[in-house]
Each structure stands twice: as C-alpha cells, then as structure tokens.
A and B are shown apart, each in its own frame.
Chain A
Amino acid sequence: MNLHSLVNGMARHRVGSALLFLLIFPLLMPYEALAINILIFGLFAVGFNLVFGYTGMLSFGHASFLGVGSYLTGIAMVHFGVHWIPAIFVGVVASLFAGLLVGYLAIRTRGIYFSMVTLALGQVIYYLFYKADRWTGGENGLRGIKAEVMEVFGFRIDFLDPLTKYYIIWMFVAFALWLVSRILASPFGSVIESIRENEKRTVACGYDVARAKLLIFVISAGVCGLAGALRALHLSVVTVDSLHYLQSGQVVMMSLLGGMGSFFGPFVGAGVFLYLEDIATNVTKYWMGVVGLLFMALILFFPRGIWGSLMHELKQRGMLKGDRE
C-alpha cells in the first residue's frame, strides 16, 4: 500500500496507531525511566490541551492537578496502605474535585485574567500542600510509595522491572488517550471547539457555555490527575515542585512545542521536550536558555508546533483528508 493511504489509514485510527508506536517506544529511548516520563507528561499535556488548545483557555495552574493526583495517590498508599490500583483511583477523583473547585472560581474570568486566576489558585494549592508536611512531607517530599508486586494470570507485575513498569503505565495512558479521543469526537467535543471559536455564537446556539467550560476543565483536571498518579508510582516519591507554577508553564511549553491545535501535538511536544532535555543537560549547563530560544523561535515561526506543522503540510499536499490528526 502506498504512503498516501498509509497516512490516512493511520489518521483514521489515530489512537490505535499511536499506541502501537508507544509499544516499541521504550526500546528507542536511551532508558525506560525517560520513556515512562514521556508517557506520563505526554498524557499530562494532552489533558491540559483539552482546556488550552480545544477550548481556548490558557490555564497557568494545571500543575495543581498533576500534583494533587500524585499526592493523593501517594498519601493513600503511604498513610492508609491502600493498594496501588485503588490508590490511582483516589488520586484521579481528588484531582477531579480540585478541578471542580479551581474551575468554578476561574471560569468566571476570561483571557489574561483566566491565566492569572489559575496561576494564583495554583500557588495557593502549592502552599497548602507545602504546609501540610505531616501528610505531604513538605519540602522533603512524600516518600515510601511502594507498589506491591502482583501476579495477574501468572504474569508478574513488579514495578522494579523498568519494562514491566512501562507497559503497566502504558495501559493506563492508552485507556486515557482513547477516552479523551472519544470525548473530542463526541457532540460535547464540538461544543467546546465552538466556544474556542466564538463564545457569543455558542450561547446564541443555546449551549450553556459556563457549564461546558466547567465540565471540560474538570475532565482535563482528571486526565492530568491520572498522569500525576502514575508519576507517583513511577518515581516512588512525590515532590512539591510538581505543584509549582513553573511546572504549569512547562506543560504550556510542551503543548505549543508539539502543537496545541492537534490531538497528539502536546504528546509529541512532551516527548521532544524531555528527550532534548535529557541529552542537552549532559552537554550544556544552560539548558533553560536553549529551551527558551527554541520556544521563542517556535512561537515566532511555527506557531502550529512540530506535529501541527507536519499535519498541516500533509493536508496541503492533499495526503491527509478532513480534520484528522
């Protein structure tokens, strides 16, 4: 089969083909821990992009949901001895609530103000967890997160084996990506896109914009929370800087790097970001500066981002039909 139909075939089953790629992904990375980070931050970025790219609200407080997911999963395991699978669930639910709270307060504002409110509320959450060191370990971080070894159909799930860990986390990420892609394809998906395009008209069409915004914000928080929960299991520690607004800024960077206009853009962005960081830090002390330059160049010359530009090219060449990514 020719490249043309291959591309469209993959586009038709975007999640499927992506997950297939992610199956062999760890073997292409220098080491599994990095591959796992990319999985997790990829999910984080995709979740964030529901609000940023699809609904057009630039949140600067999404680290809160990553962090809350991590912490509550960790707290459930460390302080209450909950098994890691239900613990993940706890983390996700917690971040859903955090999303409801922050969202409820933030969506009353628009544009720059939305960015600022989310940033401020994010910092409040940061300091709250920082202060509650009896539960969170404060500056020292939350330690002692240990996922029990499990036997499933004779298959041994041991998080100490990096590849096993990768594929376990891959399953959760796969599920989440499938879910998000479903939601975006749903009627509600088109509602949030209309909100991004033209809020007034969306209201005139009879959609309750405030409610839709809140709903997508909460969903986004949940997805980011799952990413956080998985991160807690991956690193076996939770650290307070995962709640800081610089972490929020990083996920914005990742999304733009890959392209906020597309489904996989943010995921690709996260991957490229972390991979570059991994090599760059062994080469130069000035990694932040490199990122900054790259980021500025992108905004100035490729606002579509890496993946976004690629998709655009394919469409221009007529290799890709419709609005598929």
Chain B
Amino acid sequence: MLDITPSLFMLQLVTGIALGAVYALLAIGLSLIFGMLTVVNFAHGAFFMVGAFLGVYFLGLTGNFWLSLVIAPLVVGVIGLLAERYLVRPLYGRGIDYPLLLTFGLSYVLIDVVRALFGIEGLPSSTPASLRGAVDLGFGHFPLYRLFLIGATAVLVLALWLFLEKTRYGLIIRAGSRDSEIVRVLGVDISKVWWLVFGLGTTIAGLSGVLAAPTRAVNPEMGISVLAESFVVTVVGGMGSLPGAVVAGLLVGIVFSMTALLAPAYAEMSIFVLMALVLLVRPQGFFGKAGALG
C-alpha cells in the first residue's frame, strides 16, 4: 500500500532536512567541544533539555519568543562555563574516559534539577504565534516553524563559519583543535580557550533546545534519546569536524525521514545501523582525521 508521489517524496525530504537541522546544531556543539578539548560531552543532551525548558520558561515570562531565543541559550552557556571550570577542568590529563564519565553523571544531575524546578511532567510548549500555520511549498503544505528551523540553522552555521574563519579567536580555535601546542606557542592561555569553547558548545546545545521545544514535548527525559542521536551524527560526520557535523546531521535527518516513509517502525533503528556501517567502512567518519583513532 505504498503510495509515494513525487510531491510526497519532496515533502518527506524537506521534513528530513528540518529534522536534520536540529541534529546538525546538536552535533556542531558536540564537535566543537570534542575537536578542541577531546572531551565527549555526555551531558550534551541534558544541556539541550535545559535549553528547551528555559526557552519555554522565558517565553512565558517575557511573552517574547525572540528574547527567550537569546536569553535561554546564554544561561545554558553559563552553566556550561561553570561545569567546565569546576568539574571538567580538574580532569584534564587524566585520560579521555574521565571527562566522558563525569559528564554522564552531570546529565543525571541536570535531569533531576529540572524535575525539581519544573516538575516531572514537563512544560506545555506551543509554536510562537508569529510562526504558526503551514506554507504551501508547491508540492504540499509545510509548517512555517520548521522552515524557520532550517533557516535559523543555516544562519547560525554561517555565523559560526565566519567566526571561525575570519576572526582571531576563530584562528586560535582552529589551530588549537589541530594542536594545542601551537596555541601555547602563540602565547595564548589554552585553558581559557578550552573554557570558552566548552561554553560555546553548550550554548549551541541550549539554542537547539530552545528551537526544538515548540516541535516536541518538553520533559526532563527529552535529552536522553537526543544524546544518542547526536552521537550518531558526530561519529558519522567525523568527531570534531564541523562540516562533518552539518553534512551528517542533514544526512541522518533525511535517512530517518525516508525510513519513516518506507518502513516507519524501523526509523529509529535506521540511524544506528547507518552509524555502524559508516564506522566499519570509514572508522573516522566522513570528515574525521584518521589520527583521532589512536
């Protein structure tokens, strides 16, 4: 009973891209941190979740979506900065496992803090009035807000690219992710750079949370599945590679969306199979440096 018309296919594709946009954002945050600090942030999903809650909370407080779109991620970023300074930093040089495990514990804490503050059922979140309704794309109606998601991601990726390519800080970060020695030679305090990058990464996680909030149920556990999925994206794209994060993010979104069309029940499994395949054929991922395997 498969009835796939071209327009349905197109619609499914756009849906996949919108979905992929969120994955890409998440993966960018994760990749920034890994590329620079070689820390796998297991609390990334939790930061995403916190972002979603704060987004909804500030929206209720200020009544202004755009304002909450700015404030909430910044607050998440601050939490990130604190976490790096007092929890992750003491672990540098203790082996790559320790920060990973610590952030795993941190995610547990963040989830329960949110439960305590906002309740276990989660918060009602609805699309901001200015972005409601569906747009006719010629091949079918598509929710305006999801188009906005795609747009917002594009803008953010562009901004980030400019920041990394055109600014001095960007230069330092790019250099640092290749070899922290270089940065030391440049006379920059590497630990400060790491600190800020961790903050930036978590801010982006928070932002993706705020953006995703209107499209899903905002509850304390929403980050758990998201974490696994953004791992898939970063690994497929190549740990620490930003272009990889974007490409893989969109790919995973599309793969999910297409499997959802052809074999809905296998949609979730499909992305893990994709990851397993990529890792076997090209363990370092699309854009990953083979060296990272050592």
Contact = CB atoms under 8 A, between A and B. Distances in A.
Interface of A: 58, 105, 108-113, 115-117, 119-121, 123-124, 127-128, 131, 245-246, 249, 252-253, 256, 285-286, 288-293, 295-296, 299-300, 303
Contacts of B275: 116, 120
A204 B91 CA distance: 31
B192 interface: no
B193 interface: no
Nearest to B39: A112
User: Which 3 pairs across A and B sit closest by C-beta, in order of nearness?
Assistant: A289-B112, A292-B108, A295-B105
Interface string B235-273: 100010000000000000000000000000110110011
Interface in B92-118: 94, 96-98, 100-102, 104-109, 111-113, 115-116
Contacts of A110: 293-294
Contacts of B34: 112
B232 interface: yes
A109 B293 contact: yes
A296 B109 contact: yes
A289 B40 contact: no
Main secondary structure of the interface of B (DSSP, over half): helix
B118 to A, nearest CB: 13
A127 B268 contact: yes
A303 B109 CA distance: 19
B235 A116 contact: yes
Contacts of A256: 101
B98 A299 contact: yes
Interface size class of B (residues with CB under 8 A): 35 or more
B97 A58 contact: yes
B105 A286 contact: no
Nearest to B294: A110
B269 A300 contact: no
24 contacts: A58-B100, A108-B283, A109-B279, A110-B293, A113-B235, A113-B239, A113-B279, A113-B284, A115-B100, A116-B231, A116-B235, A116-B275, A120-B276, A128-B269, A131-B269, A249-B104, A286-B115, A288-B111, A289-B111, A292-B108, A295-B108, A296-B87, A296-B105, A303-B94
Contact of A299 (B91, B111, B266): B91
Contacts of B112: 286, 288-290, 292
Given A109-B279, A253-B104, A289-B112, 5 more contacts: A105-B276, A124-B269, A289-B115, A292-B107, A299-B101
B96 A120 contact: no
Nearest to A52: B97
B138 interface: no
B279 A300 contact: no
B276 A300 contact: no
A124 B228 contact: no
A128 B266 CA distance: 10
B280 interface: yes
B231 A289 contact: no
Interface string B276-287: 100110011000
Contacts of B276: 105, 117, 120-121, 124
A120 to B, nearest CB: 5
B251 to A, nearest CB: 15
A244 to B, nearest CB: 9
Contacts of B108: 288-289, 291-292, 295
A246 B224 contact: yes
Contacts of B98: 299, 303
B46 to A, nearest CB: 10
Given A285-B115, A286-B116, A296 B294 contact: no
A255 B269 CA distance: 29
A111 B22 CA distance: 27
A303 B116 CA distance: 29
Most chain B CB within a 10 A radius of its CB, from A111, A112, A256: A112
B90 interface: yes
Contacts of B279: 105, 109, 113, 116-117, 120
B195 to A, nearest CB: 17
Nearest to A295: B105
Interface string B108-147: 1101110110001000000000000000000000000000
A115 B113 CA distance: 27
Nearest to B234: A116
Contacts of B116: 286, 289
Contacts of A253: 101, 104-105
Contact of B272 (A112, A123, A303): A123
